[in-house]
Structure 1
Amino acid sequence: MEEFTLDKQWFDAMEARIPRGEVRTRFAPSPTGYMHVGNLRTALYTWLIARHGGGKFILRIEDTDQERLVEGATEVIYATLRKCGLNWDEGPDLGGPVGPYIQTQRRDLYAKYAQLLLDTGHAYRCFCTKERLDALHNENGLGGYDGHCRTLSQKEIGEKLSAGVPYVIRQKIPREGHTTFHDVVFGDITVENATLDDQVLIKSDGLPTYNFANVVDDHLMGITHVVRGSEYLSSAPKYNLLYEAFGWEVPTYIHCSPVMRDAHNKMSKRHGDPSYEDLLSMGFLSEAVVNYVTLLGWSPRGENVEREFFTLDELSEIFDIEGISKSPAIFDLEKLKYFNAKYLRAMDPERFYAVAEPYLKKAVQNPAIDLKLIAPLVQPRCDTFADIAPQVDFFDALPDYSTELYVHKKMKTTEENSLEALGETIPVLESLESWTYEAIHDALIGLAEKLALKNGRIMWPVRTALSGKAVTPGGAVELCQILGRAETLRRLKIGMDKLSR
């Protein structure tokens, strides 16, 4: 690890470039895979605090844990934030006044700030071997560092440095007293300093640990509000001691309780819980996911207390950190489906068709079928886009079906009178001059009137013959129109053949 003499002017210059006098928040993901729901919620709350306060939202990539990096994951982060509408003001791609915004590109900064702590007695070099550290742990892997290198003399340190012995830099936690920090969600929390471990700040490869880089970066980027998971509550006292050691102002802490799969288990990709990308591939709309995830652990107040549905702009107007709950939130896929269904129903037909088209094309591959006629039939009948295919697959190919489908108590249809109905319907449809919705509708209604039958006695057998299903989006008239004259007549004749056996 490089040794150097500190330059006060350099530190003064770093302080001088810190933006002040505005709300500044950051989302600082590690590029280790897809965006899970808890991470997305952190990004949302961080963005909403910045936008509500008229401030800046900063994107920072924390890539110091080189072993866990996943190729392409940074692009996934960019794409996810953009799909969610979470635009950033500063970041690796945009630049800004306090860059670089990728931690490994800031490597030289951390060493200088660690040296500052060494010089002021708030940190020390630890030369302990991995074997010695492993021996400190009990059989459960627990047991903190024993402070073996805290009291090394300058002579001993100099000898080890001259001999090239590898070392890490550890935070020198006070042995006496206590540390109190304030969190918006959990209030004041006090811990005894004696319970805190002398955490590693700089690893033997010269890279900072997550905890140290966070504190340095948050200060140098002027971050005023830090949103993170409640699992980091135990690290907050060490963060506070670092801020105090540097003489820096502590930001506002907002620790959020976890998003749970159920009452006992946190959501986890390892256990098959969906990421944001998974939810999109399952047929959910990004807007619905964003709306629902925002409400996982946060509640609107005042006149909006009963509201469930918000646009991002509306949320940024009313978002209040006091509305964040300390109780864990349970991710309920059925509740998300409820949100998604509301969003789908509220879309204008053109927008629905635009977003549903890929799913319709996959389900119905016959080029003769006009998908724009199918879209309005499925829009009120699906909770997610994944519901489309099972409803419309019969347009491509008539499934094999039982003639029992023709029997409908309410419609008063039987297999016998359904055979008669189809026999009467075929010549009527064959003789139609134009194949339009109105012409088909009037012909079928007219046939029922002529035969002195209720409409259902004609419509049910026709719909069954065309679809081979008990439930379809749209009725007999819509199915005839979409399938076209030739295919409609072909399927009606197949129906007659089945009923005649």
Structure 2
Amino acid sequence: MLSVRVRFAPSPSGYVHVGNARTALFNWLFARHHAGAFVRRIEDTDVERSEERYEAQLMEDLRWLGLDWDEGPDKGGPCGPYRQSERKDLYAKHARQLIDQGHAYFCFCSQEQLEVERQEALKAGLQPRYSGRCRARPREEAARKVAAGEPAAVRLQIAGPAFTWNDLVHGPVTFASDVIGDFILVRSDGNAAYNYAVVIDDHLMDITHVIRGDDHISNTPRQLAVYQAFGWEPPHFGHLSTILGPDRKPLSKRHGATSLQNFREQGILPEALRNYLLLLGWSAQDGKTEILSTQDMIAQFSLDRINKSSAVFDSDKLDWMNRLYLSKSSAAEVVRYLVTRTVHHFASAGYIAQSDLQRDGISEWLNKIILQTIKARPEAPHILDVGRLIFAYDAEAVVCSEETRHVAEDAGSRQVLMAFIPKALAEGEMTYEKFREIAKSVQKETGRKGKDLFHPIRVALTGAVSGPELEKLIPIFEEGAKLRLAGPVKSCAERLREFAEAAKLLREV
């Protein structure tokens, strides 16, 4: 077997999503298993949608996932350039070769003419395809029209009844040529079409295996037609199954996080995501091992263990795997993970902005929140509950809520708060030591203790019947109130004053 050469060739028109990330991982593992080359190529023939920022994000995401490449736009290599927008001369040269050999021809049909043909085919219940109107035009006449400046596309002349290949995942696949038609190789604006450019690139870069999503299966017969026209040996093709959401529909944004950037922001560890993506359509040699080191992944990876059935993305399992990897991480890695995860959830809720993190004192304050209230329970619901306690205090809602209004209505609770609130407001900034002194004083004054004493105070301060200890929350409230944040934090005094007003304790206080 020739030295394995695979490529990951995304379009820089959006963020790297789960499907693309798995494709990159499988190509990388296949190359590393066979001591071959992993080529990163940029397919930017879609000029209108391609953006440099997405290409930069792509490189950053792949590096974060732990995937390196042997050749690419940034590293160079023997088969460059590796960006399609820099290979236009190669596409034009090979298109002229096909025209000269009679395998391709100029097409002068307007978009209006093509649309009429398309609608007629649909009305007749047929698959739309080009009629071949310009195929019989003499080559010399077509050349004169092009020389005169008339816009023309270049189309491939399809030959043969069918195109068949032995797919590395799905087995034998056949497409009849009459469903393809003479498709465009080069558009009238001079830009190469995807199914043409990709063949030129794969051939000139000596790609031996094309491993990609099964949404490309319908592209393969067109690409085989180009290989056939040039007389080139095509690479081996393998098409990975579609990744589905829990509802068994193709995974999309409506299912939640789908891009590597999303997972990074949520604090998912790259090792955990890499391990989880591997299991989406692939299984270990023993059929049951799920946790594999990178070395084990490379050693065991083979295409014959890829499942042709669609894989279902399970975010709960990814979270479980992330916690498992987290449990094996160092203390510093754990803190970094928790900071990233907490910032993501707080920012999504509008509590903080990324720009807030640049201000003095805010990172230290967030670290205190994380270490004292989140570290033991890093699940998203708990993080958001803590966020609401800190940022979303609403006294009016507290006195009306089914869960907390009893504190505003119960005579014993009101007695405690009428004794506690004036003393607390007189102190100004609250510390936990001051809080304990005031609570002891209120206990003596009212005779209430334990839950009867502290429960109404907790509800008045936090707006909730449970949560982290007040010993931890009070300094968080007080320090947060001094910081400039997207979502201001109310101090203990502000909370108590607002609660007293909402519960109509002011006259009694």
TM-score tier, shorter chain, comes to 0.7 to 0.9
Counterparts of residues 186-335 of structure 1 (less than 5 Å) = 186-261=170-245, 265-268=249-252, 274-276=257-259, 279-280=262-263, 283-285=266-268, 287=270, 290-291=273-274, 294-295=277-278, 297-303=280-286, 305-307=288-290, 309=291, 315-333=297-315, 335=317
Give deviations 1:219-260, integer Å, cap 9, x for gaps. Answer: 111222212221222232332343344343322211122233
Contact 1:100 1:106 in 2 (8 A): yes
- Contact 2:163–2:176 under 8 Å retained in 1: yes
Distance apart, 1:453 and its partner CA? 11
Q: What is the one-letter code of the residue matched to 1:381?
A: R
Counterpart contact for 1:83–1:286, Cα < 8 Å: no
The within-5 A match list for 1:321-400 is 321-333=303-315, 335-339=317-321, 348=331, 349-356=334-341, 358=343, 363=351, 370-376=365-371, 377-384=373-380, 388-395=383-390, 399-400=394-395
Query: What is the distance in 2 between the residues matched to 1:265 and 1:494?
Result: 48
Distance 1:469 1:166 in 2: 70
CA distance in 2, matches of 1:482, 1:154: 80
User: Which segment drifts farther, 87-96 or 127-136?
Assistant: 127-136
Cα distance change, pair 481–415 in 1 and its aligned pair in 2 (3 A): farther
**CA shift in 2, pair 1:354/1:132, >3 Å:** closer
**What is the aligned-residue RMSD (CA, Å)?**
4.8
The question of 1:467 aligning with 2:451 is answered no
- Alignment TM-score, normalising by the size of structure 2: 0.73
The superposition leaves residues 76-102 of structure 1 with CA deviations (integer Å, 9 ceiling, x where unpaired) of 322332333332222112211111011
Q: Report the alpha carbon displacement of residue 34 of structure 1 after superposing the two structures with TM.
A: 2.6
Structure 2 counterpart SS, 1:254: strand
CA shift at 1:352, angstroms?
3.6
Q: CA deviation at 1:45?
A: 2.2
Segment drifting more, 317-326 vs 184-193: 317-326
Query: Whole-Å Cα distance in 1 between the matches of residues 308 and 183 of structure 2?
Result: 27
Structure 1 range deviating more: 104-113 or 271-280:
271-280
Q: Which residue of 2 aligns with 1:144?
A: 129
Q: How many residues align?
A: 470
Deviations 1:178-215 (A, max 9, x none): 43201111101133444442222222333321111111
Q: 3-state SS of the aligned residue for 2:206?
A: coil
Tell me the SS of whatever aligns to 2:12.
coil
Compared CA separation, residues 421 and 367, structure 1 to 2 (3 A):
farther
Q: Is the 8 A contact 2:241 2:281 kept in 1?
A: no
Deviates more, 1:50-59 or 1:288-297: 288-297
Distance 2:138 2:318 in 1: 61
Whether the aligned pair in 2 keeps the contact of 1:406 and 1:415 (CA below 8 Å) is: no
The equivalent residue for 2:473 is 479
Q: Report SS of the residue matched to 2:217.
A: helix
Identity %: 32
Report if the CA contact (8 A) 1:29-1:61 is conserved. Answer: yes
CA distance in 2, matches of 1:456, 1:311: 50
Q: Aligned to 1:469, what secondary structure does the other structure show?
A: coil
Preserved CA contact (<8 Å) 2:45 2:193: yes
Per-residue CA deviation, residues 332-356 of structure 1 (Å, 9 max, x unaligned), is 5555555556566665343345435
SS at match of 2:308: coil
- CA offsets 1:122-155 (integer angstroms, 9 cap, x no match): x121334224433332343952123344444455
Q: Find the counterpart in structure 1 of residue 107 from structure 2.
A: 127
**Structure 1 pair 111–496 and aligned structure 2 pair: CA distance change class (3 A):** closer
Aligned match of 1:47: 28
The DSSP-based 3-state class of the residue aligned with 1:93 is coil
2-side partners of 1:483 and 1:135: how far apart? 68
> Which amino acid in the other structure matches residue 302 of structure 2?
D
Aligned residue type for 1:328: S
